[in-house]
Amino acid sequence: MNAPYDPLIAATPGTGLDHVASYWAATAGEIPPDDGPAPAQLETEVAIIGGGYTGLSCAYHLARLYGIKPVVLEANRPGWGCSGRNGGFARMALGRWTAAQMMEQWGRDLAKRVFGETMASLNTVRTLIKDGGIACDASEAGHLKIAHRPSRAAALKQEAQVLQREFQYPAEFIDAAELRDNHVGGTQSHGALRIPDALAVHPLKLSLGVLRMARSAGATVHAASPVTGWRKNGAVHVLTTPHGTLRAKAVVIATNGYTPQQLHPAVRATLLPVLSQIIVTRPLARAEIRATNFVTRHVLTDTRRLLYYWRRLPDDRIMFGGRGLITDSPGRNSRQRDYLLSELRSKYPGLENVTVDYDWHGWVCLTRDFLPHIHHAVDDTSLHYALGYQGSGVALSLHAGKLLARRLTGEQIANVIPPACTPLTRFPLHHLIRIPQRIMYRWYKFLDNRDWPQ
């Protein structure tokens, strides 16, 4: 029996695997073609490892804006990883940093510049959807961050005030009564921070749309082509795939939570892949919608450290996601599915009889400073990467691909998002990192269940 997949151990995430059996895969429609496995011998100016949002966006922008025809190497199928299995929340986010935390850490001027770039990332998503005619069920949903306990509401109110006063952004605090009357009821709706700008999308349709755009612009996208070896021959990178080798002047690592430890020393011991799991219910009955007053189409998160994220889908199902297991275990994954369903039911009395039609999981990527990093290897400026979106990367990953294209053509981007345009740093004792992860999860769960501000 094969051991469960763990990016900290496995050499690759697989070769040519089909998309997971998710709600998104079941409703994606016709899958567009790619360029098949990489051939025996191949040369390119830019090789991109990873066929998700970051890699496909980088490929598209290189080809469309700069006339560079890159080659994308995807281990399985384009959009196979979290780009095709996330919750479909395109939000203004730099990891999980709040505006107040940005102000405290970086000062007003830099915080405002970073916040402006997160807004630009959402516009990158809008532009891609428009220019590519991507039918990904996109809606201008807005985002509600909901206080799951009464004591969490004050911090959300303060965050709204910071956004209004310091960033001149029209956030608003919605009190518990308005939230329950006009958006969603339940036992854990104690007020919310409303961010008007957020898109709800079908994530797999979005990634497949960017695949079409990249190939139409002149990029080549090879599926079933994991990188199994890497060496440098002078100024040329030589990448080994199951069927041959690819020679490239520059390389982009865009593998995020599915990055093998041995892929390259530049990323070794710098990433913590963690599992996130999603369930999708059967369609709600009219009586269930009335009982919960689940009328909102906003994308929803709560104030937990181990947060839940959920939304009402266009066909009246509820998509509900949260932390997965420490390791990928089929038997325990089914129990985690049942746990998520129980958590959804506890939020919303009236859903006692709702059942699950789909469940799946995927690896999101954390870094040591809880920030994404868009940079190059310290000792090799021909090796670039964008990694570590902290589970909030739909918009920023697509934007990061665009920024990487600018960097690869010689443009300086260090001042675009200065905190993120820095090298990755290593975790100490990285080979033992699952141990503190377990401790952290238990501590966060304890804090989430306590009724004091976090």
Write the pLDDT tens digit of every residue in 246-301.
Answer: 999 999 999 999 999 999 999 999 999 999 999 999 999 999 999 999 999 999 99
Q: Average pLDDT of the chain?
A: 96
Q: Check residue 2 and give its pLDDT.
A: 63
Residue 332, token pair as written in the block: 């325990």
User: What's the mean pLDDT in 178-184?
Assistant: 97
Distance CA 397, CA 87 (A): 14
């405290």: which residue's tokens? 104
Band (pLDDT 50/70/90 cuts) for residue 47 is very high
Instruction: Classify each residue of 27-56 as buried b or exposed e, where b means 16 or more C-beta atoms within 10 Å of its C-beta.
Output: bbeeeeebbebbeeebebebbbbbbbbbbb
Give residue 168's identity as a one-letter amino acid code: Q
Q: Check residue 329 and give its pLDDT.
A: 83
Distance CA 414, CA 428 (A): 26
- Pairing between strand 143-146 and 299-302? parallel
Cα separations in angstroms, 306 against 4, 301, 325, 401: 23, 10, 12, 28
């001149």: which residue's tokens? 168
Q: Check residue 1 and give its pLDDT.
A: 44
Q: Are 373 and 423 in contact (CB under 8 A)?
A: yes
Band (pLDDT 50/70/90 cuts) for residue 330 is confident
Higher pLDDT, 1 or 447: 447
Q: Check residue 221 and give its pLDDT.
A: 98
Helix or strand run (H / E) with residue 271:
strand 271-281
Band (pLDDT 50/70/90 cuts) for residue 396 is very high
Q: Are 399 and 118 in contact (CB under 8 A)?
A: no
Q: What is the pLDDT of residues 202-246, one digit of tens each?
A: 999 999 999 999 999 999 999 999 999 999 999 999 999 999 999
Band (pLDDT 50/70/90 cuts) for residue 95 is confident
User: What's the mean pLDDT in 387-391?
Assistant: 97
> Residue 454 pLDDT > 80, yes or no?
no
- Pairing between strand 41-49 and 71-73? parallel
Residues 6+ apart with CB under 8 A from 184: 144, 146, 292, 293, 294, 295, 296, 300, 348
> Residue 452 pLDDT > 70, yes or no?
no
> In order of start, what are the domains of the chain with their CATH numbers?
140-202+274-367 (3.30.9.10)
Q: Are 68 and 112 in contact (CB under 8 A)?
A: no
Q: Check residue 331 and give its pLDDT.
A: 80
> Residue 453 pLDDT > 80, yes or no?
no
Residues 6+ apart with CB under 8 A from 129: 136, 138, 201, 206, 209
Distance CA 83, CA 101 (A): 27
Band (pLDDT 50/70/90 cuts) for residue 450 is confident
What is the pTM for the complete model shown? 0.96
Distance CA 281, CA 74 (A): 31
Distance CA 231, CA 239 (A): 7
Give residue 210's identity as a one-letter amino acid code: V
Band (pLDDT 50/70/90 cuts) for residue 162 is very high
Distance CA 231, CA 265 (A): 11
Instruction: Classify each residue of 89-121 as buried b or exposed e, where b means 16 or more C-beta atoms within 10 Å of its C-beta.
Output: bbbbbbbebbbbbbbeebeeebbbebbebbebb
> Residue 54 pLDDT > 70, yes or no?
yes
Helix (H, G, I), strand (E, B) or coil at 282: coil
Percent of the chain beyond pLDDT 90? Answer: 94
Closest to 114 (Cα-Cα) out of 406, 421, 331? 421
Q: Calculate the dihedral angle through the C-alpha atoms of 199, 201, 204, 205, rounding to the nearest 10 degrees.
A: -110
User: What's the mean pLDDT in 64-72?
Assistant: 98
User: What's the mean pLDDT in 320-342?
Assistant: 91
Instruction: Classify each residue of 204-213 as buried b or exposed e, where b means 16 or more C-beta atoms within 10 Å of its C-beta.
Output: bbbbbbbbbb
User: What's the mean pLDDT in 46-63?
Assistant: 98
